[in-house]
Amino acid sequence: MFYHVQSLINEIVADEPDPSAANALQEGLGGQFGEMRTMMQYLFQSFNFRGDAKPYLDLIQGVGVEEISHVELISKTISTLLDGSPRYQGKKFETPGKGGAESMAMAKEQQNPHHFIVGAQGALPVDAAHNPWNGSWVHDHGNLVLNLMDNLVLEATGRLQKCRIYQMSANKTLRNTVAFLIVRDEAHQAAFGKALESLGVNWSKVLPVPKFDSTQWPEVKRLMDLGIHREQYTFRLDGSDMGAIFSGAAPFNDGTEVVTKTEPDRSFPIPTAPERPEEFAPGLDPELQALADALTEFKEGMAKKADAKKPASKSAKKK
Amino acid sequence: MFYHVQSLINEIVADEPDPSAANALQEGLGGQFGEMRTMMQYLFQSFNFRGDAKPYLDLIQGVGVEEISHVELISKTISTLLDGSPRYQGKKFETPGKGGAESMAMAKEQQNPHHFIVGAQGALPVDAAHNPWNGSWVHDHGNLVLNLMDNLVLEATGRLQKCRIYQMSANKTLRNTVAFLIVRDEAHQAAFGKALESLGVNWSKVLPVPKFDSTQWPEVKRLMDLGIHREQYTFRLDGSDMGAIFSGAAPFNDGTEVVTKTEPDRSFPIPTAPERPEEFAPGLDPELQALADALTEFKEGMAKKADAKKPASKSAKKK
Amino acid sequence: MFYHVQSLINEIVADEPDPSAANALQEGLGGQFGEMRTMMQYLFQSFNFRGDAKPYLDLIQGVGVEEISHVELISKTISTLLDGSPRYQGKKFETPGKGGAESMAMAKEQQNPHHFIVGAQGALPVDAAHNPWNGSWVHDHGNLVLNLMDNLVLEATGRLQKCRIYQMSANKTLRNTVAFLIVRDEAHQAAFGKALESLGVNWSKVLPVPKFDSTQWPEVKRLMDLGIHREQYTFRLDGSDMGAIFSGAAPFNDGTEVVTKTEPDRSFPIPTAPERPEEFAPGLDPELQALADALTEFKEGMAKKADAKKPASKSAKKK
Amino acid sequence: MFYHVQSLINEIVADEPDPSAANALQEGLGGQFGEMRTMMQYLFQSFNFRGDAKPYLDLIQGVGVEEISHVELISKTISTLLDGSPRYQGKKFETPGKGGAESMAMAKEQQNPHHFIVGAQGALPVDAAHNPWNGSWVHDHGNLVLNLMDNLVLEATGRLQKCRIYQMSANKTLRNTVAFLIVRDEAHQAAFGKALESLGVNWSKVLPVPKFDSTQWPEVKRLMDLGIHREQYTFRLDGSDMGAIFSGAAPFNDGTEVVTKTEPDRSFPIPTAPERPEEFAPGLDPELQALADALTEFKEGMAKKADAKKPASKSAKKK
Amino acid sequence: MFYHVQSLINEIVADEPDPSAANALQEGLGGQFGEMRTMMQYLFQSFNFRGDAKPYLDLIQGVGVEEISHVELISKTISTLLDGSPRYQGKKFETPGKGGAESMAMAKEQQNPHHFIVGAQGALPVDAAHNPWNGSWVHDHGNLVLNLMDNLVLEATGRLQKCRIYQMSANKTLRNTVAFLIVRDEAHQAAFGKALESLGVNWSKVLPVPKFDSTQWPEVKRLMDLGIHREQYTFRLDGSDMGAIFSGAAPFNDGTEVVTKTEPDRSFPIPTAPERPEEFAPGLDPELQALADALTEFKEGMAKKADAKKPASKSAKKK
Amino acid sequence: MFYHVQSLINEIVADEPDPSAANALQEGLGGQFGEMRTMMQYLFQSFNFRGDAKPYLDLIQGVGVEEISHVELISKTISTLLDGSPRYQGKKFETPGKGGAESMAMAKEQQNPHHFIVGAQGALPVDAAHNPWNGSWVHDHGNLVLNLMDNLVLEATGRLQKCRIYQMSANKTLRNTVAFLIVRDEAHQAAFGKALESLGVNWSKVLPVPKFDSTQWPEVKRLMDLGIHREQYTFRLDGSDMGAIFSGAAPFNDGTEVVTKTEPDRSFPIPTAPERPEEFAPGLDPELQALADALTEFKEGMAKKADAKKPASKSAKKK
């Protein structure tokens, strides 16, 4: 069973909107080697897991749970990059296109017009070339060694593609998120590299892929200085054996150490996205808003009752 | 951010393996109106949410988080239905196919041979006709009213298809899971029906879809007697305003009441799946097992340290 | 603009249900060379047509309009082949699966379980291998000669595949429809062969594809005796120049003549399909039926008014 | 059976070519919520219809037949927007690229290069992100209530997306067609909203989606002043019971009335598209043209005979 | 540039037809980890290769060229398994279905009806679940280390899936081909394992995947006794540096040695497939056959001239 | 079995990089009518060939083998057009993006961002609208006449699309390759046109498609002056009967003659592609390079041994 807190695993940094940066970042979300794939691949491998090698299960599933939070982070980043982009392009819009004003003229020239026609300046489950995410990309071979190797290739490709995307835009909103994912994909290479090391493989100097000094990028350096590239989180409310594998020397033969934690040291607030009238989003027009407002008053009374009803049993479960 | 406990939201009931039942159930997992779709649709709608109508956000996202647990439940059910099916068909297998024995002869005649060739008798992210899950099925129109209507159609279709699947097999493993999903899809129709009711719609007698007395099915009746068709869960560790919408009379005009809880009253253990040598799953052959065993000993020492490191901060966050 | 009459272009002959025959026939509906493809290909070629070679436009578009009626015919044939198939398999069903009865047990073993889970024993826009119909199959090269050649290959493939399907089942429902399509695909080969002949090509003896004496099949022979393999219809309410091409000697160098008509000499009633409670189809349960019945009474009064309102202008347009 | 007249359901207004506007409009033709989907969805629901609720069948099928004319209209609009766009971009072309002139230089930079490589500046069965139309988008749940709800969501999404496209371009060719579709999608929301109202639902103020005053757009206002947003057409040559549902108060609780007609009051000529030598379209080079010219003469004699042969029986059928 | 000889890389062994075995084998041809994927992946990596690490290029490309011959072998094996299967099922067929005989009745029940409707009892570019082969499966990351890791995972998956298929059928036609591919996939794991070893990795005992004693299968043992699992071929007419990597100790730490050869020691004749009248294959009916016969006579005279024209230059190129 | 030489079938001419030209050319590689399709279609038709009409088999297969070399040529052309395009756009890059420099800024605006994110400025198996190549495009109808007609349509479409692409760019790299393919597609139209002519068809003046004087394009004229549009190659090391069909008058009724050769008169060197550090391609960082250098020394010794081992048997086979 899964639980949620309304927080992000990394901060969204503000900058100007940039629809083509948003489109490039879609590769990291809905691409063949993006976060939706990693999330689904590790969850399927966990749900179908055979045998009693529990530390391996806990490692794969723990990374999988983290990936759901990556999907949340990268979706929010794409939304933020798209948000208000018609206005940003120097064309003022009215609500909606009053008198026939051409308020979204720029939208039809963008990389992915679906960001403006199908979604309301929000993330889509597609890649940077507009292909919808596809279930055939999820690999669960049902063989532990092969799954670990496949996962390692997946994380290496993830880091490679994000390093390329980093260089495609100086936008701070994009870079701050991409830097975090570069660092985490290195940690995940360490996770699967370490698991294969436990079965005898010595990686010499081939990991992490790609080989280069990523501290030259300041957003990446800041996170590595905090040691985030050597941490792994269980995200488990009932304990985990992940640490049996993910501890000790990193599998990169570089003298660093890896460490397992329950969750990241910090989490970050989720910014509220403004309404976009030119997209008819959300579309609670005045009449419906009045009904919603009545509900809000009602809610305040309700919320107290709901709080009162919340069971104390969950905290017990976690002890 | 997301968290996990190693428990199921409903019980897996044991029965004989049945690969064609497993295949039918794939529709409920990876089909156009299956649990992967509902999970992704509600999460994308939440991540892209605009405006400050928080109770609506909390309702959509809460259902979305529950759907991850449904994906977990239905995947495990499919694995269980597939597990050992070559043996079940009356053909004994050796490890693996010793001397060329034809240990998986029946597998090539099954509805989806991928269950035996690509996976190791495990669930796949595909539908009952073998189409991979597709991102284009995720609808986030960016307009709240339309999203609620789309979600209601989705839940109605989910319940309709599961009612059809129920009648396709008497296998208890299948039926117990399907019955739970029928009941929950009714609860989710109540959730989105209630949200539209808050904006003025009166559903008269058209909901839930399909209209029939589902208590005639004993597995369904048992859950309805427990009231599970009128509950909704927030799965939130930091509070939720879902209850502002999901409380009071059900939108079915049938005199029942709906109620919001933090989580279900019960959760269930996840059975361990045995190794399947004919699938080379997991494939920790004796040499690699020896390495894993060495790790197990090491693990015991490690686990204590890991426990010691676990922060007390999470329980604080939830208060 | 398009108009409709509630009649079929060929008769649906009754026989036992046969889901695997229905599945084979899906190739003729939603396959790469099926009726949905021909319909869309010719309509797109017509809508995008360039230049003033009106007889060629009228020929292509006329065949395209006929194909919509083929989609109607083959869909109804598939529905008829599926209708009641659980009952047919010797398992009696109650309404719906009363007391948990396994009323659709056979459905999970069928070629395409979607016929029972996604549809309610009805036709789907997919092929015999369950691939959804795909827009990339529609070819409009924007070059008249090439379009005519492509259309000829399409009709030849259509006839070839239907000749194979004919031999796969003795079911009369299937065969009567397939025989009609074999005959019409021969007529359409004549249409495009004739158009290329008008540009100088001599086909010698290579057409129609495949070469064999199709009168050995009695259902085909009956239609050929009526001359239906040498007719083409304009389906135009405002006149057509199709006959400028489609008249005179057939392009098969076999001594026969082709003829253009406005529409077929006969049309056939569309049988009403019964409700299927085990599919929750249509699902007008007693409560909703009462509302519908009230409407029916109301309808009778309305129908008279509606008749009165019908303009006489259409017949004028056609004169 | 289906019939055709060589007329459009709305006027094509002339303006400059605009390939990126053409690409945006592809969403309305070949997108998941475009006219090909609505056409196919309603036709499949009609062909598979169960039971004797004839007014509902006639309503769904009538809208379906209209959608074929929408596919015709939007295809022609896209062709018109693309037509001559290389020339428009300020690069004069010779026939074809004489001496190696780069006559289609701009084409390689366009949103969808297929408009110039695969088609000859014509419409394609794809969406604005270049995904081919897909049969899985057609929903026929086989349950009347659910189909009506799904159809309502489909029309609401259609109107929402077209309202967004309207704001993306000031091109008159695009806007005149889009305005017509916005108005018709409102009428179709009325159709399915009314059908659900007949089963007891009260929509209060949530319809039509999106909620806003669309008369602020002059092209839309003109059509609404004519009442086209409250009309529905049967397009039936043999009578229809659509009017039993589609009459009386609109389901929007706004005091307006809806009305059923046999066909629209006006229809419009289809402009002839010029040849495009740089596309080798149509490619009747002088040698083949000579053959075609010979045919034209022949045609004139033939046409008279064809007229003479046209049966008077069709008008009888319609009475 | 590529050349061909009309020989097979392994022998086709005769046995009874078996359409479901043929379908299972499609996974090895057109599946995500099948021979079409390996062929295309290695060729694309070769064509896009950067830098001067020629031995790595020659290794990847050499394996890629071999894979074309694997596609040839496995296609022919599937054709052979399908050939005559209607007759085999105990139903005699006439030519074609004389008098309406149901000569392909069994075909509509088979795993993939396309084998009989779309193809003429021949191989298709699809997988065992009927998904068409897809270009997105081809991975060329443009990074040598990552490509080698990806290729290793691909070969490991190929061997795993073929080991599963081996156990699904005792048919000798299937097993002889599958055994060859199991052995070659082990050789290819050696190739990419060896390349990574040259960059420092030590594989300990994890390779080959899956770990088990494949000599228990007699068809596999025969080939391993010949050493075919430790050979690699350049298939180059102009020399290759593959041997710089592929020589010395196998990367499996098992004491064996690998060796590079120009081509396999033996090649095998390609059996002629009979005509299948019930499929209208090939369809040279008597009239066309007469024309073909005339051509055959003509050919004999021509062939001598063609031989005379063959340049001696190729053999020079290879020296 | 297949063999390779490290040479190209036509020359790559140098010019500036041009990513949008590269994208247009993808249609010729991975499009529905591109070289991957022709290659696979003819190879599948050959592998599944039925009957003893050997000249037809040798013709189809010979063209198929040539197409592999076309895939090689066009892939290399696309790589060349992409290579260094970020630098070309006036933005200097460091290695990789030092200090966070935005070295690939232009990449996010390109037609297909996958060229820079997924690949490393290399060709992809996709079309110009980013659709992955799809196996359903391969047509093997199993009927010789129909296959020949389908192949003719395929080659005609190939030539048509390449003529359109020629006009889209003045880039010499693109034009030189496209001109070669235009000429070869004319030769292949001759091949299949000739084969149908042998069965009686007279093409009059409709071929080749499109009809126009392609000598107006200088790159095309140069190749036609060499007669390359009337040659066909067997690419067979063991003899071929292709010449029985492909000899004598061209099927275009234009007075020219066609001729069969073993291979083209000339072949061309494959240029080495430079490393691209901003793409982490190939990524042999200094540490790994040191290992590779050690291998190079080792290689020199090995190469001599490998040469010594090369069997003389191949030349014998070809005699």
pLDDT digit string (tens) for D168-183? 999 999 999 999 999 9
- How many E/F residue pairs have CB atoms within 8 Å? 349
Say whether residue F138 is in contact with chain C using an 8 A CB cutoff: no
pLDDT digits (tens, 9 = 90+) for C292-314: 677 656 555 555 565 555 554 44
Question: D166 and A105: CB-CB below 8 Å?
Answer: no
pLDDT digits (tens, 9 = 90+) for E257-291: 999 999 999 999 999 999 898 999 865 667 777 77
Question: Which of the residues C164, C171, C209 would you substitute to probe the E interface, choosing the one with the greatest number of E C-beta atoms within 10 Å?
Answer: C164
Q: Given pLDDT bands bounded at 50, 70 and 90, which one contains residue A317?
A: very low
- The residue written with tokens 């000669």 in the block is C145
Q: What does the alpha-carbon distance between residue B264 and residue F248 come to, in Å, rounded to a whole number?
A: 82
E70 plus E136 within the same structural domain: yes
User: Which of F119, D303, E15, F301 has the alpha carbon at shortest distance from A31?
Assistant: F119
Is residue E311 over pLDDT 60? no
In a domain, B59, yes or no: yes
Is residue C315 over pLDDT 70? no
Which chain C residues have a beta carbon less than 8 Å from that of F143? 160, 209-210
pLDDT digits (tens, 9 = 90+) for C241-291: 999 999 999 999 999 999 999 999 999 999 999 999 899 986 466 777 777
Close Cβ partners of B58 (under 8 Å, ≥ 6 residues apart): B234, B236, B240, B241, B242
Average pLDDT value for residue range A48-64: 94
Average pLDDT value for residue range F226-240: 97
| pLDDT at A127 (0 to 100) | 98
Distance from CA of B74 to the nearest CA of E (A): 21
| pLDDT at C300 (0 to 100) | 57
Close Cβ partners of E292 (under 8 Å, ≥ 6 residues apart): E284, F53, F198, F199
Say whether residue E168 is in contact with chain A using an 8 A CB cutoff: no
Q: What does the alpha-carbon distance between residue B260 and residue A310 come to, in Å, rounded to a whole number?
A: 9
Is residue B74 over pLDDT 60? yes
Instruction: Closest CB to A97: pick one of D111, D160, D167.
Output: D167
F85 plus F217 within the same structural domain: yes
Instruction: Closest CB to D143: pick one of B131, B137, B209.
Output: B209
Which of helix, strand or coil describes residue F263? Answer: coil
Say whether residue A167 is in contact with chain F using an 8 A CB cutoff: yes
Which of A94-108, B100-114, C212-226, D20-34 shows the lowest per-residue confidence on average (mean pLDDT)?
A: A94-108
Which chain A residues have a beta carbon less than 8 Å from that of D170? 100, 102, 105
In a domain, A2, yes or no: no
Is residue D312 over pLDDT 70? no
Question: What b/e readout covers A189-204, taking b as 16+ CB neighbours within 10 angstroms?
Answer: bbbbbbbbbbbbbebb
| pLDDT at B101 (0 to 100) | 87
Question: C113 and B130: CB-CB below 8 Å?
Answer: no
Instruction: Closest CB to E202: pick one of A153, A157, A201.
Output: A201
| pLDDT at F298 (0 to 100) | 58
Distance from CA of C295 to the nearest CA of B (A): 16
Q: How many CB atoms lie within 10 A of CB B60?
A: 25
Question: Which of the residues D167, D174, D214, D252 would you substitute to probe the A interface, choosing the one with the greatest number of A C-beta atoms within 10 Å?
Answer: D167
Q: Which of A267-281, C16-30, F291-305 has the highest mean pLDDT?
A: C16-30
Q: Are B176 and B11 in contact, with CB atoms under 8 Å apart? A: yes
Question: Which of the residues B42, B43, B47 would you substitute to probe the A interface, choosing the one with the greatest number of A C-beta atoms within 10 Å?
Answer: B47
Average pLDDT value for residue range B203-232: 96
In a domain, C198, yes or no: yes
| pLDDT at A316 (0 to 100) | 33
Is residue F310 over pLDDT 90? no
Is residue A138 over pLDDT 90? yes
What average pLDDT is seen over chain E?
90
Average pLDDT value for residue range D136-141: 98
Q: Are C39 and C69 in contact, with CB atoms under 8 Å apart? A: no
F54 plus F155 within the same structural domain: yes
Is residue D141 over pLDDT 80? yes
Average pLDDT value for residue range B207-231: 96
Tokens representing D312 are 């008077």
Q: Are B8 and A2 in contact, with CB atoms under 8 Å apart? A: no
Q: How many CB atoms lie within 10 A of CB F193?
A: 24
Runs of H (alpha helix) within A83-171: 85-88, 114-117, 144-166
Q: How many CB atoms lie within 10 A of CB B38?
A: 25
Say whether residue E65 is in contact with chain F using an 8 A CB cutoff: yes
Residue B5 gets which letter from DSSP? -
Question: A283 and B55: CB-CB below 8 Å?
Answer: no
| pLDDT at A318 (0 to 100) | 39
Q: What does the alpha-carbon distance between residue B69 and residue B266 come to, in Å, rounded to a whole number?
A: 13
| pLDDT at B110 (0 to 100) | 94
D101-105 long-range contacts, Cβ below 8 Å, gap at least 24?
A: D101/F167, D102/F167, D102/F168, D102/F169, D102/F170, D103/D278, D103/F167, D104/D278, D104/F164, D104/F167, D104/F168, D105/F167, D105/F168, D105/F169, D105/F170
In a domain, D293, yes or no: yes
Residue of F nearest to E36 (CA): F40
Which of A208-212, A305-309, D73-77 shows the lowest per-residue confidence on average (mean pLDDT)?
A: A305-309
Average pLDDT value for residue range B117-145: 97
| pLDDT at C37 (0 to 100) | 98
| pLDDT at F307 (0 to 100) | 58
Tally of residues, chain F: 319
Say whether residue B238 is in contact with chain A using an 8 A CB cutoff: yes
F226 plus F309 within the same structural domain: no
Tokens representing A251 are 């599998």
Q: What does the alpha-carbon distance between residue C72 and residue C94 come to, in Å, rounded to a whole number?
A: 31
Which of B47-61, F25-39, F173-187 shows the lowest per-residue confidence on average (mean pLDDT)?
A: B47-61
Residue of A nearest to F94 (CA): A167
Q: What does the alpha-carbon distance between residue F45 and residue F62 come to, in Å, rounded to a whole number?
A: 11
Tally of residues, chain E: 319
D244 plus D309 within the same structural domain: no
D80 plus D110 within the same structural domain: yes
Close Cβ partners of E212 (under 8 Å, ≥ 6 residues apart): B96, B280, B285, E163
Say whether residue D114 is in contact with chain F using an 8 A CB cutoff: yes
Question: A113 and D129: CB-CB below 8 Å?
Answer: yes
E194 plus E160 within the same structural domain: yes
Instruction: Tell me the residue range of the domain where D248 lies.
Output: 19-283
Question: F280 and A210: CB-CB below 8 Å?
Answer: yes
In a domain, C2, yes or no: no
Q: Given pLDDT bands bounded at 50, 70 and 90, which one contains residue F22?
A: very high
Q: Given pLDDT bands bounded at 50, 70 and 90, which one contains residue D316?
A: very low
Instruction: Closest CB to A145: pick one of E134, E202, E209.
Output: E209
Close Cβ partners of F141 (under 8 Å, ≥ 6 residues apart): C157, C160, E118, E119, E120, F147, F150
Is residue E310 over pLDDT 60? no
- The residue written with tokens 């009462």 in the block is C290
| pLDDT at E305 (0 to 100) | 60
Which 3-state string (H, E, C) describes chain E?
CEEECCEECCCCCCCCCCHHHHHHHHHHHHCCCCHHHHHHHHHHHHHCCECCCHHHHHHHHHHHHHHHHHHHHHHHHHHHHHCCHHHHCCCCCCCCCHHHCCCCHHHHHCCCCHHHHCCCCCCCCECCCCCECEHHHCCCCCCHHHHHHHHHHHHHHHHHHHHHHHCCCCCHHHHHHHHHHHHHHHHHHHHHHHHHHCCCCECCCCCCCCCCCHHHCHHHHHHHHCCHHHEEECCECCCCCHHHCCCEECCCCCCCEEEEECCCCCCEECCCECCEHHHCECCCCHHHHHHHHHHHHHHHHHHHHHHHHCCCHHHHHHC
B48 plus B169 within the same structural domain: yes
D290 plus D266 within the same structural domain: no
Question: Which of the residues F103, F275, F280, F284 would you substitute to probe the A interface, choosing the one with the greatest number of A C-beta atoms within 10 Å?
Answer: F280
Q: What is the CATH number of the domain that holds D244?
A: 1.20.1260.10
Q: DSSP readout, D239-296? A: ---GGGTS-EE-TTSSS-EEEEESS-S--B--PPBPPBGGGTBS---HHHHHHHHHHH
Q: Given pLDDT bands bounded at 50, 70 and 90, which one contains residue F314?
A: very low
Q: Given pLDDT bands bounded at 50, 70 and 90, which one contains residue F299?
A: low
Domains held by chain A: number: 2
Question: A279 and D128: CB-CB below 8 Å?
Answer: no
Q: Given pLDDT bands bounded at 50, 70 and 90, which one contains residue A313?
A: very low
Q: How far is CA B277 from the centre of its chain?
A: 27
What's the predicted TM-score (pTM) here? 0.94
Residue of D nearest to B133 (CA): D136
Is residue A302 over pLDDT 60? no
C233 plus C300 within the same structural domain: no
Which of helix, strand or coil describes residue D115? Answer: helix
Q: What does the alpha-carbon distance between residue F73 and residue E1 come to, in Å, rounded to a whole number?
A: 9
Which chain D residues have a beta carbon less than 8 Å from that of A112? 129
ipTM of the complex: 0.93
Question: Which of the residues E126, E136, E202 would you substitute to probe the A interface, choosing the one with the greatest number of A C-beta atoms within 10 Å?
Answer: E136
Instruction: Closest CB to C114: pick one of B128, B170, B218.
Output: B128
The CA-atom distances, in angstroms, between A286 and each of A293, D211, D217, D293 are: 10, 9, 20, 64
Q: Which of residues 178-217 of D touch C (CB under 8 A)?
A: 198-200
Q: How many CB atoms lie within 10 A of CB C283?
A: 28
Question: B101 and E212: CB-CB below 8 Å?
Answer: no
Runs of H (alpha helix) within F136-276: 144-166, 172-197, 218-225
Average pLDDT value for residue range F255-283: 92
Q: Given pLDDT bands bounded at 50, 70 and 90, which one contains residue B301?
A: low
Close Cβ partners of C111 (under 8 Å, ≥ 6 residues apart): C19, C20, C23, C128, E108, E109, E113
Residue C62 gets which letter from DSSP? H
C180 plus C304 within the same structural domain: no
Which of D171-175, F75-79, F135-139, F285-289 shows the lowest per-residue confidence on average (mean pLDDT)?
A: F285-289
Instruction: Closest CB to F218: pick one of D100, D112, D118.
Output: D100
Our CA angle for C97, C98, C102, nearest 5°, is: 40
Q: Which of residues 265-294 of E touch A (CB under 8 A)?
A: none
| pLDDT at E97 (0 to 100) | 82
Tally of residues, chain D: 319
B252 plus B199 within the same structural domain: yes
Which chain B residues have a beta carbon less than 8 Å from that of E212? 96, 280, 285
Is the bond preceding C208 in cis, omega lying within 30 degrees of 0? yes
In a domain, A1, yes or no: no
Question: A273 and B141: CB-CB below 8 Å?
Answer: no
Query: What subunits make at least 3 CB pairs under 8 angstroms with B?
Result: A, C, D, E
pLDDT digits (tens, 9 = 90+) for D245-289: 999 999 999 999 999 999 999 999 999 999 898 999 864 666 777
Q: What does the alpha-carbon distance between residue B302 and residue A117 come to, in Å, rounded to a whole number?
A: 53
In a domain, D10, yes or no: no
Q: What does the alpha-carbon distance between residue F283 and residue B68 come to, in Å, rounded to a whole number?
A: 38
| pLDDT at A52 (0 to 100) | 85
